[in-house]
Amino acid sequence: MLYTDGTAPQEDKEGSDTPEGCQVAKDSDPSLRPHEFPEGGLAAWATTFGAFLVQLCGFGYTTSFGVYQDFYTQHYLTNETSSAISWIGSLNTFLVTAVGLISGSLYDRGYFYHLVIAGSLLQSFSLFMLSLSKPDQYYQIFLAQGIGLGIASGLVYVPSIAVVSHYFRRRRTLAMTFVASGSSLGAVIHPIMLNNLLNGRLGFGNGVRASAGLVSVLLLIACLCMRTRLDPPITPANYITAARKCIRDAPFLFAIAGGLFFQTGFYYPLFFFQLDSIKHGLSITFSFYSLVILNVSNCVARVTSGFIATFTGVPNLIIVATISGGVLTLGMIGLSSLASVVVLGVMYGYFAGLYIAMIAPLVATLTPDLSELGARMGICFFISGFGSLIGTPISGALLTSNYIWWIPALFSGVS
């Protein structure tokens, strides 16, 4: 039998010169018994906290693109259509998951520290480059925010989630949902900060630089906190082999297909909710906080999802979340008042949070061999990520310059 790190159990040798007390101490140290999981401790929770910060700065920043969508549409890229602008955010989102195909494989081969350090440096660099972009220079923003920031977040996304499995088995879902809540907290902090900076005295350049400074500091703390515990497997998971196993794994295939369709419509509220509120005559101040309302509810969902999943099971909970998210997206057709924004924001944010929080635990649940966890996460996130790539540009094209809101809402809700 092999352990998750690829090693075999060692039998105790009789007549060992090791004193009995030292032997007991050695056996009581979880770090020296890789087949057993600490389920806690300083290193475990420090790593979990570091992964939480990575999600806050990575996916949390990506899902705050609704602020940029509104700002670019009305002020900074006025010559571009909503669909063209949404390509920046959708490519960013797609690369976060698509690059996971590479970072997941490298993670399985023991390159965890290389990935998180390189990803953190690239994310900081990309944000500072974004701050130097000029008005109506679409290609500059597309390169820095769409491509650079997307690749950077993708390098750290899968490793920061998967490393938690080094320390937890019984409490893995709870730990992973805590990590996932980092992105929703980031999606609360970043919109508040960006709306006040971009539309305030600092303007675009200095506002983005201030945001980049905060992200850089948090990523530095994350890199200092996270540590691996298990050695990489002797024979790393092969993507071709893992893919062949996935083809014969019906539940895993349905999970991927569901993720693909759901992510096609998932980001429409996140990208267009603030702009939708403004165009329906709500006050600009309140509209700035519409995304915050959605993401606060999203954060609550991610924190509580681990506890709910212990009673419902991960697959059941994610099914409820996807159905409810689709129905509520259709409900955006009726958005017209302050009350409707609050109700839709709270309810959609909660079920969207349940969905995001359950993706990683679902993949872990459907992975019989943990040595393939990085590969399976990469495959799942890569394929389902195509939904996020095409979803919002299609929604933006359906919206048109006349802002016909019911068409993209119908498309996204049905997806």
Q: Which phi and psi angles does 6 have, rounded to 5°?
A: 90, 5
**Cα 200 from chain centre:** 29
Band of the pLDDT at 24, cuts 50, 70, 90? very low
H or E element: which one contains 257? Answer: helix 250-279
- pLDDT, position 27: 39
Report the alpha-carbon angle 206-62-178, nearest 5: 115
Residue 386 lies in a domain: yes
Residue 130 sits in a domain of what CATH number? 1.20.1250.20
Bigger pLDDT: 377 or 121?
Answer: 121
Mean pLDDT of 99-109: 81
| Alpha carbons 23 and 29: distance in angstroms, whole number | 10
Structure tokens at 287: 């509209």
Residue 387 lies in a domain: yes
Residue the block writes with tokens 């933006």: 396
Structure tokens at 195: 């709306």
Mean pLDDT of 191-207: 85
**Cα 265 from chain centre:** 16
The predicted-structure confidence for 118-175, as pLDDT tens digits, reads as follows 999 999 999 999 999 998 889 999 999 999 999 999 899 888 888 888 887 777 777 8
pLDDT at position 115 over 80: yes
- pLDDT, position 147: 94
Structure tokens at 393: 């540009």
- pLDDT, position 122: 95
* Sequential DSSP letters for 318-344: HHHHHHHHHHHHHHGGG--SHHHHHHH
From residue 108, give the alpha-carbon distance in Å to each of 35, 253, 338, 350. Answer: 17, 22, 48, 32
Mean pLDDT of 261-268: 87
Bigger pLDDT: 280 or 331?
Answer: 331
| Alpha carbons 360 and 357: distance in angstroms, whole number | 7
Minimum mean pLDDT range among 102-111, 148-157, 221-230: 102-111
Mean pLDDT of 1-5: 39
3-state helix, strand, coil split of the chain in percent (to 5) is 80, 0, 20
Mean pLDDT of 13-35: 42
Average pLDDT over the chain, rounded to an integer: 81
| Alpha carbons 388 and 59: distance in angstroms, whole number | 13
pLDDT at position 259 over 90: no
pLDDT at position 16 over 50: no
Residue 351 lies in a domain: yes
384 within 8 A of 260, measured Cβ to Cβ: yes
Band of the pLDDT at 33, cuts 50, 70, 90? low
Bigger pLDDT: 214 or 166?
Answer: 214
- Pick the most confident of 12-16, 52-56, 79-83, 230-234: 52-56
Bigger pLDDT: 385 or 328?
Answer: 328
- pLDDT, position 228: 85
Please give the single-letter amino acid code of residue 12.
Answer: D
Residue 3 lies in a domain: no
Question: Taking the alpha carbons of 333, 334, 340, 343 in that order, is the dihedral positive or negative?
Answer: negative
pLDDT at position 15 over 60: no
Residue 256 lies in a domain: yes
Residue 368 lies in a domain: yes
Bigger pLDDT: 135 or 39?
Answer: 135
| Other Cβ atoms closer than 10 A to 124 | 19
- pLDDT, position 106: 85
| Other Cβ atoms closer than 10 A to 174 | 17
Residue 42 lies in a domain: yes
Minimum mean pLDDT range among 77-81, 214-218, 363-367: 363-367
Residue 4 lies in a domain: no
pLDDT at position 17 over 60: no
pTM over 0.85: no
Mean pLDDT of 240-244: 77
Bigger pLDDT: 255 or 148?
Answer: 148
What single-letter DSSP state applies at residue 372? Answer: G
3-class DSSP assignment, residue 405: coil
Rounded to whole angstroms, the maximal C-alpha distance in the chain is: 84
| Alpha carbons 181 and 187: distance in angstroms, whole number | 10
Q: Output 239-247 pairs: Cβ under 8 A, ≥24 positions apart.
A: 239/101, 239/105, 239/375, 239/378, 239/379, 242/372, 242/375, 242/376, 242/379, 243/379, 245/372, 246/376, 246/379
Per the structure, the count of domains in the chain is 1
Which candidate, 217, 210, 4, places its Cα nearest to that of 120?
217
- pLDDT, position 164: 85
| Alpha carbons 211 and 280: distance in angstroms, whole number | 29
pLDDT at position 12 over 60: no
Structure tokens at 45: 């929770």
- 260: domain range? 37-228+236-414
pLDDT at position 35 over 90: no
Residues 6 or more apart whose Cβ sits within 8 Å of residue 409: 268, 329, 330, 332, 333
pLDDT at position 218 over 90: yes
Please give the single-letter amino acid code of residue 280.
Answer: H
